[in-house]
Structure 1
Amino acid sequence: MIDQKQVQLANMELWKQWKEQGLIHARQTLIESYLPLVEYVSGRMAIGLPKSVSKDDLSSFGVMGLIDAIEKFDYARGLQFETYASWRIRGSIIDGLRQGDWVPRSVREKAKKVEEAYQKLEQQYLRSVTDQEISTFLQISEQDFQQMLQDISITTICSIDDPIREEESETRLSLIVDEKAKNPEYQVNEFYLKDSLAKAIDRLTEKERTVVSLFYFEELSLSEIAEVMCLSPSRISQLHSKAILRLKGVLGRFKNQLFQDN
């Protein structure tokens, strides 16, 4: 505990030296001290990516995100740098991969078809649809559907710098606001969004809910989840993809309703 406090005090001094005095050596020391965070984030994101994606490339993109975070972070606000930097590192890695055309257009088209299938069928039946129903809707076999899920598993990550709608420049990051500045309209929309997500999560299968919980709340990697659930990593990847596509379908319906109301 004492060591951790000493580290925090040392880092605070480094932040002061860098932000207030502009000392380059303090900036460099901060970068070096937070490099393990880059390895952690890139390691989690490497799960499920094609073998052609180099771990070194992920780390390189991540370091750029870390540097950007150190440049923009306001230590005086008392926020936790690790949380802020993790978002920046993750976003930088995703941006780097997309600039390198790491996901073929055909794979993105498959993901879009599956997402639309979940959105239409679950809106029609008002329940969680089965793999067989999705397969029938897509006019493919269940085996081909499982393979499709495996193919598109690499697309179920997103950046807060992504545009909300393809034809617009507004990003998810632009919607992050100070909680103290919420207006009534925002609060109403937020309430219905949370309610929609809660209902969508309830509709997930037990295994899908478990994967989402372990991955996003317990912060386990997909390989670690596979060990916990006694399933193969590829099966965990499929469950994760299905859960995300279901949730995206719900968010798509919420977005459409929001724009229609406006």
Structure 2
Amino acid sequence: METNVKAIELKDLWRRYKASGDGRARERLVVAYSPLVKYVAGRMASGLPAHVEEADLISYGLIGLISAIERFDLGREIKFETYAIPRIRGAIIDELRSLDWVPRSVRARAREIERANAKLEHKLQRAPTDEEMANELDMTMDEFQDALIQISNSTIAALDELWTVSDASGDQISLLDTLQDPDAPDPEKIVDASELKDRVADAIARLPEREKLVIALYYYENLTLREIGEVLGVTESRISQLHTKAVLRLRSRLQSEDAEAGL
């Protein structure tokens, strides 16, 4: 009963705001959907350095929420949550990027690992092992594992940031949101979404089993890295390494495909 009442109240707030720009209705919509910001900020905070405050992420995310409320079209047959979450995440990412706090050395090392992975995959016709990657990069195994930890602690790169597509209004929509949510936007309104979706699905399917499982649990089951570690019986740090390897591997694979296609 309470849920129904809330739904009716939200519908009325949306109607009032979109009909007349009622500022009070907009404020109440921001309050009503603010848990979305806390959810997104909490998930992102778990993969960021300790000096990045979750409260700061929440304040950045609120900017994305307000923008989403202002731009949301009630005529679109998607849930507001589906529309808002990638925009909240995008606002947080944009602000972190503007602060430029990721060391250049870490960015450079991530690109080196992507290039090494692409080269070895082409040569071996399979995903390279950690040992093969370390040899290619002229690193010891400890150095390679440390590099993955540095990247995972410093970068905000994730699947839902790496691949986005534009809908008819020009908005950026996370590909993972279109894969996961049955109420996602009409595929006809998304540029090349079907082809990109197939490419990502194929790339994920070719990941080593353990990395594939981490991707599935993190992005599809919404478990935190710590929770995945508990499920698999390993440390959160190890799961962070696996997640980083998977993301870099997927990105290098798609970039290689784009290069071969001359894109």
TM-score with structure 1 setting the length: 0.86
Aligned to 2:182: none
Matched with 1:48 is 47
Partner of 2:144: 145
Q: Distance in 2 between matches of 1:213 and 1:41?
A: 18
Residues 128-186 of structure 1: CA distance to partner in whole angstroms, max 9, x if unpaired? 1000100000001010000000011142337769999xxxxxx9939988523579xx4
Superposed, 1:46-195 pairs within 5 Å as 46-153=45-152, 154-155=154-155, 156-157=157-158, 173=172, 179-180=187-188, 186=192, 190-191=194-195, 193-195=196-198
Contact persistence 1:208–1:243 (CA under 8 A): yes
Q: How well do the aligned residues superpose, as a CA RMSD in angstroms?
A: 2.6
CA distance in 2, matches of 1:175, 1:55: 22
Is 1:197 the counterpart of 2:196? The answer is no
- Are 2:228 and 1:225 aligned? yes
Q: Percent identity?
A: 43
Do 2:214 and 2:243's aligned partners in 1 also have CA atoms closer than 8 Å? yes
Q: Distance in 2 between matches of 1:233 and 1:30?
A: 36
SS at match of 1:76: coil
CA distance in 1, matches of 2:255, 2:41: 28
Equivalent position SS for 2:262: helix
Decide whether the 8 Å contact of 2:86 with 2:173 is kept in 1: no
Structure 1: 5+ residue stretches without partners: 165-170
Alignment-derived partner of residue 168 in structure 1: none
Assess if the C-alpha contact under 8 Å between 1:196 and 1:250 holds in 2: no
Unmatched tracts of structure 2, length 5 or more: 176-184
TM-score (norm 2): 0.86
Aligned residue for 2:47, secondary structure, equals coil
In 2, distance between residues paired with 1:197 and 1:65? 26
* Cα pair distance change 1:13/1:181, threshold 3 Å: closer
Match of 2:209 among 206, 209, 231: 206
1:224 Cα shift? Answer: 1.6
Aligned-partner residue type, residue 158 of structure 2? I
Mapped partners of 1:120, 1:59: distance in 2: 39
> Compared with structure 1, are the counterparts of its residues 48 and 71 closer, same or farther at alpha carbon in structure 2 (3 Å cutoff)?
same
